[in-house]
């Protein structure tokens, strides 16, 4: 097991357990550096632990959302959510394997905090999504179900978050939105992050698409 970062002794048993897990797991730290890469994820993506441990998760995997927008980066939203002490919702990404193939996966992230609260480890459990034909519900039932889910998520947004989402949809930058609303750009970015969290999406583009689909855009 290769680990380049200084890890609290209390956390090492967690790393050892994930190293032996039959599930594909890699672990990052709060700086978004890979600190563990188990054999199952090596078989899935092709990279060996010596090729990835110590490197940026985003730089290695280049994950994209369902719209093709780059999701994995040094400014990782998962790390930001974890550093706020919040749970990370399960999500889907397209990851780049070593052979350059794009692999659609479902990712579950755990937030493991050390006893001194200065060290955060983020185990990423990866499960490939297989494109197998499945029996679909009647179109009207499926559409109704999606509408209910969309409505429930939409009701989480405050009036101000809807205003910010509307301005994002119109192409305004954070500075432009801040000027129009008379608030700080940092406050705008916080509103945007709240929107992403509440709608369970991972990018502005995905939030805007959700908003138009569910008729959330204010006029």
pLDDT in tens, 34-53: 989 999 999 999 999 999 99
For residues 203 and 58, give the distance between their C-alpha atoms in angstroms, rounded to a whole number. 15
- Categorize the per-residue pLDDT at 4 as very low, low, confident or very high, splitting at 50, 70 and 90: very low
Same fold, 9-128 and 139-213: no
For residues 93 and 37, give the distance between their C-alpha atoms in angstroms, rounded to a whole number. 18
State the CATH architecture for 9-128.
2-Layer Sandwich (3.30)
Q: Tell me what the mean pLDDT of segment 137-157 comes to.
A: 50
Q: State the pLDDT at residue 125.
A: 92
Q: Decide if pLDDT at 132 tops 60.
A: no
Q: State the pLDDT at residue 189.
A: 92
5-19, 45-59, 94-108: least confidently modelled range = 5-19
Helix pair angle (159-169, 185-199), 10° resolution: 100
pLDDT in tens, 179-215: 999 999 999 999 999 888 888 888 888 888 887 777 7
Q: State the pLDDT at residue 148.
A: 37
- Categorize the per-residue pLDDT at 25 as very low, low, confident or very high, splitting at 50, 70 and 90: very high
User: DSSP labels for 6-75?
Assistant: ---GGGHHHHHHHHT-SSEEEEEETTSBEEEE-HHHHHHH---HHHHTTSBHHHHH--B-TTS-B--SSS
Domain residue limits, the chain: 9-128, 139-213
Residue for token pair 């109704």: 144
- Phi first, then psi: give them for residue 139, nearest 5 degrees: -50, -40
Q: Decide if pLDDT at 72 tops 60.
A: yes
Judged by DSSP in three states, 175 sits in: helix
Per-residue CA distances from 218 to 102, 170, 180, 184, 211 (Å): 36, 11, 15, 22, 10
Q: Tell me what the mean pLDDT of segment 73-96 comes to.
A: 79
Q: State the pLDDT at residue 91.
A: 82
- Categorize the per-residue pLDDT at 76 as very low, low, confident or very high, splitting at 50, 70 and 90: confident
Q: State the pLDDT at residue 67.
A: 66
Class of the 139-213 domain?
A: mainly alpha
19-23, 62-66, 139-143: least confidently modelled range = 139-143
Q: How many CB atoms lie within 10 A of CB 210?
A: 19
């Amino acid at each position: 097991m290769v680990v380049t970062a200084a890890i609290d002794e209390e956390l090492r048993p967690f790393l050892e357990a994930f190293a032996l897990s039959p599930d594909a797991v890699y672990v990052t730290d709060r700086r978004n550096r890979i600190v563990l890469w188990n054999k199952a994820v090596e078989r899935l993506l092709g990279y060996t632990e010596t090729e990835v441990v110590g490197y940026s998760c985003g730089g290695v995997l280049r994950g994209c959302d369902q719209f093709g927008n780059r999701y994995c980066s040094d400014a990782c939203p998962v790390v930001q959510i974890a550093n706020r002490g919040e749970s990370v919702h399960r999500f889907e990404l397209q990851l780049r394997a070593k052979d350059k193939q794009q692999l659609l996966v479902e990712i579950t992230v755990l937030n493991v905090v050390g006893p001194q609260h200065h060290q955060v480890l983020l185990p990423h459990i990866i499960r490939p999504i297989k494109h197998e034909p499945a029996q679909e519900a009647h179109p009207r039932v499926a559409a109704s179900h999606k509408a209910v889910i969309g409505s429930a998520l939409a009701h989480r947004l405050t009036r101000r978050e809807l205003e910010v989402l509307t301005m994002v949809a119109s192409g305004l930058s954070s500075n432009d939105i801040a000027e129009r609303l008379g608030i700080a750009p940092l406050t705008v970015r916080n509103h945007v992050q709240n929107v992403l969290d509440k709608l369970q999406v991972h990018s502005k583009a995905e939030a805007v698409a959700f908003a138009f689909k569910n008729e959330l855009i204010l006029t």
